[in-house]
Amino acid sequence: MTENEGSAGGVSPGAMGIGAPVIDPTQSTPLEDDESPGDVPPGPLWAMKDRRHFHLLPEHRGAKRIRTCLGVGDNAIYVIDDGHVHCMICRRVGASPDGCTYYLVARIALEQFHVRASGEHPLNDIFSSAHDLELCGVFEDATDVSNIFPVQHFEHATDVPNEYLPPNPFIEFSQDLSADS
């Protein structure tokens, strides 16, 4: 390597306060840490943990922890805690040929979760009162690196395509979805 190769004007990036380039990770971030087997499978759990706001505060552990599934099949809604007044909800939307599974993730008021869990209101419209809605892709790989990525953010619940909402069936997408599909 010559003096100027791999650096800007012969100055190494570290000397200018710029860190070394990021390389591809060799293992996944352990989003399942501190989790016991339960009602929420890894894919939706990872998507909700990635999107939630209050994931670093220790007081949200223990008795306040929520890990549950409401409904079954295409009506299944996964739920985890997100602070004192919110929780994250998620449903499987579909999969693409590359093995990626897509999930609709959103935040709802904790009281809405309790109303739905009690059966007072149907699950089919649980996303109607949600905010911070996003379609996320989750690529699970047991032997290599798994990944979570945003596909599309929705400003309002009414912006979500109907086929992404319950009770619509799981979609086998004909091609991979990319950001802002």
Segments forming the whole domain that contains residue 95: 39-172
Examine residue 157 and state whether it is found in any structural domain, yes or no: yes
SS3 154: strand
Examine residue 45 and state whether it is found in any structural domain, yes or no: yes
Examine residue 63 and state whether it is found in any structural domain, yes or no: yes
Across the strands, what pairs with 85?
A: none
Q: How confident is the model at residue 34, as a pLDDT?
A: 60
pLDDT in tens, 104-155: 999 999 999 999 999 888 889 999 999 999 999 998 876 666 788 999 999 9
Examine residue 31 and state whether it is found in any structural domain, yes or no: no
Examine residue 159 and state whether it is found in any structural domain, yes or no: yes
Examine residue 28 and state whether it is found in any structural domain, yes or no: no
Count of domains observed in the chain: 1
Examine residue 108 and state whether it is found in any structural domain, yes or no: yes
Q: Give the pLDDT band (50/70/90) at residue 39.
A: confident
Contact 60, 41 (CB under 8 A): no
**Average pLDDT rounded to a whole number, residues 13-31:** 49
What is the rounded distance in angstroms from the CA atom of residue 43 to the CA atom of residue 38? Answer: 13
Examine residue 101 and state whether it is found in any structural domain, yes or no: yes
